[in-house]
Amino acid sequence: MRRVLLAAVLLAGACHAGAQLSQAYAQVVATTAKPLLARDGPDAQAFRGSLVFFNYCVTCHGPNADGNGRAAKLYTPRPANLRASDKNIIKYMRLIVRNGGKSMGRSEFMPPWGEELTDEQIADVTVYLQSINDRVAASTPR
């Protein structure tokens, strides 16, 4: 009887936590044009890229990837709005991420991530950035 009771309590707790999580996620989805996390999408690479983005890039580029991260106030020019970026050719984006902005004639404040991120992580995050780029979305036939 004790075991059954304990299991019931644990199950109720798990359900409650799960409900809270899905509610929070639903709020994120509701307040943005499209889901920022590719969690529900078919593309696992974009999902992995979103994890990289939210761990490393979010400080400057912000949770909406629009260049309004909490550190953005430190920089002139401000971090790029990655949702509206016209630099959405995958190879070009990977070069910027890997070698840093300065090497590409762009902002010197964009660090070279090649020492920290693996090639796979860089590939993942650029696929994620393409998946949330409004220009790419607008030019994709439906």
Partner 1 sequence: MRRILPLAAGLAFALVAGQALAAEQVVSQKGKAFSVKKLTVTVGDSVRFVNDDPFAHNVFSLSDTKSFDLGSYGQGLAKSVLMDKSGIVDVECAVHPDMKMTIEVKPK
Using the minimum distance from each CB to partner 1, give the nearer residue, 16 or 70: 70
Burial class (CB in 10 A: 0-12, 13-18, 19+), 83: buried
90-119 footprint of partner 1 as x/- string (CB under 8 A): ----------x-------xx-xxx-xx---
For residue 80, what is the DSSP state? P
For position 71 contacting partner 1 by CB under 8 A, the verdict is yes
Specify the residue, 108 or 119, whose C-beta has the smaller distance to partner 1: 108
76, two tokens? 């002139």
How far apart CA 102 and CA 9 sit, in angstroms, is 56
Please, which residue, 61 or 94, has the CB nearer to partner 1?
61
Shortest Cβ 128–partner 1 spacing (Å): 17
Pick the closest to residue 65 from 32, 103, 23 (CA basis).
32
Cis amide linkage into residue 141, ω under 30° from 0: no
* Contact status: 56 vs partner 1 (CB under 8 A): yes
Q: Which residues bind partner 1 (CB under 8 A)?
A: 55-56, 59-60, 70-71, 73-75, 100, 108-109, 111-113, 115-116
